[in-house]
Amino acid sequence: MIRIITDSAADFETNELEAMGVTAIPLSVIFGEDEYKENVNLTKDEFYNILTKNPNHPTTSQPTPEDFMNIFKEAKDAGDEILGIFISSKLSGTYQGAMLGMQLCEYDNFHLVDSLSATVGERVLVEYAVKLRDEGRTLFQIASVLEEIKENLHIFAALDTLEYLKKGGRISASAAAIGTLANLKPIIHVGKAGVVETCAKAIGTRKAISTIIKQLETKAPNIEFPIYLLYSFDKSNAEMLADALAKKGYVVKTKNISPVGAVIGTHVGPGAFGLVYVAK
């Protein structure tokens, strides 16, 4: 059997993981002296409630190689092959920790995929891996397909507030103040390089939505894969984006509008929304 393992940054709920037969190792979120394990003792809603009230800006922490080794050893002892799909190595040390954990486990029947993505981008790869596994594909076949897909996987997202970029030291307080006064919504992109880049800036939510849709039209979607939307805490902006996409002929199913969890939410804050898809 192929055992699929991901991390909590893929933003699945526990019931979704159980239904797919997928294991997710949790990353940690730390507010001052309080540490939580994502989706273990901290739900998405609980995270955003703490984020907006706690004076301490959170930090995140990846699982240790020993954490990975323990999970991999369970699969090894069961005689399972292992397919790991993890958050971009450019955004977190999780993938490197998994590689070290596999070395400690001393097992050969595995393939670890650096998704070069995060949140719903990871979800796309995991869900497709499950589909291929259930169709009876081999570990090598599934891993090869995922390595191809991730080259054309895109996330375009608008930030609703600059407050959390300021708190995280990504922009200065003055830049945040000016951007807030101007109702500026930075549009960020995660593509095949696996890094977060600002690709555009829009004034107001409606302009941000049209800017995101233009990105989709520039890099046309592969119709073999569904279009996903993401949002952090407040779903309304994502629903507005879904309505605008429908007018352009891109229908997004309700089940493919997914919430962003603590790991990415630490950096983007509440109200962010965006588009995730596989391009041609």
Whose CA is closest to 225, among 177, 278, 172? 278
Looking at residue 92, the DSSP 8-state letter turns out to be: -
Looking at residue 62, the DSSP 8-state letter turns out to be: P
Note the pLDDT of residue 98. 97
Q: Where are the alpha helices (DSSP H) in the chain?
A: 14-20, 44-53, 65-77, 94-105, 120-134, 139-149, 163-167, 173-181, 205-218, 236-247, 262-268
- Asked if the structure places residue 147 within a domain, the reply is yes
Whose CA is closest to 107, among 74, 145, 146, 140? 74
Note the pLDDT of residue 178. 44
Looking at 132, 151, 170, which one is the last position of a domain?
Answer: 151
- Asked if the structure places residue 159 within a domain, the reply is yes
Statement to judge: residues 74 and 173 lie in one domain: no
Statement to judge: residues 83 and 183 lie in one domain: no
Residue reference for tokens 């998405």? 44
Is residue 172 predicted with pLDDT exceeding 60?
no
Q: Could you tell me the two tokens for 53?
A: 């009230």
- Asked if the structure places residue 31 within a domain, the reply is no
Domain count, the chain: 2
Statement to judge: residues 106 and 164 lie in one domain: no
Rounded Cα–Cα distance for residues 230 and 118 (Å) = 11
Q: Write the CA distances from 24 to 15, 45, 117, 141, 166, integer angstroms.
A: 12, 19, 16, 22, 30
Statement to judge: residues 118 and 180 lie in one domain: no
- Asked if the structure places residue 18 within a domain, the reply is yes
**pLDDT class of 274 with cuts at 50, 70, 90:** very high
Looking at 151, 166, 181, which one is the last position of a domain?
Answer: 151
Q: What is the CATH number of the domain that holds 112?
A: 3.40.50.10440
Q: Write the CA distances from 136 to 6, 65, 96, 141, 224, integer angstroms.
A: 20, 30, 29, 10, 19
Looking at 121, 151, 181, which one is the last position of a domain?
Answer: 151
- Asked if the structure places residue 32 within a domain, the reply is no
- Asked if the structure places residue 164 within a domain, the reply is yes
Statement to judge: residues 22 and 102 lie in one domain: yes
Whose CA is closest to 30, among 59, 62, 66? 59
- Asked if the structure places residue 252 within a domain, the reply is yes
* Triad 207, 213, 218: Cα angle to 5°: 125
**pLDDT class of 175 with cuts at 50, 70, 90:** very low
Statement to judge: residues 188 and 145 lie in one domain: no
Q: List the domain range (segments joined by +) for residue 261.
A: 154-278
**pLDDT class of 179 with cuts at 50, 70, 90:** very low
What is the residue-averaged pLDDT of the chain? 92
Rounded Cα–Cα distance for residues 60 and 35 (Å) = 9
Statement to judge: residues 114 and 198 lie in one domain: no
Statement to judge: residues 165 and 256 lie in one domain: yes
- Asked if the structure places residue 40 within a domain, the reply is no
Statement to judge: residues 184 and 79 lie in one domain: no
Q: What is the CATH number of the domain that holds 167?
A: 3.30.1180.10
Statement to judge: residues 158 and 220 lie in one domain: yes
Note the pLDDT of residue 38. 95
> 10-42: per-residue pLDDT in tens?
999 999 999 999 999 999 999 999 999 999 999
Statement to judge: residues 105 and 22 lie in one domain: yes
pTM: 0.94
Statement to judge: residues 14 and 115 lie in one domain: yes
pLDDT, average across residues 112-125: 97
Query: What's at 186, amino acid-wise?
Result: P
Is residue 100 predicted with pLDDT exceeding 90?
yes
Give the range with max mean pLDDT: 39-48, 154-163, 175-184.
Answer: 39-48
The backbone torsions φ and ψ at residue 64, rounded to the nearest 5 degrees and listed phi first, read -80, 160
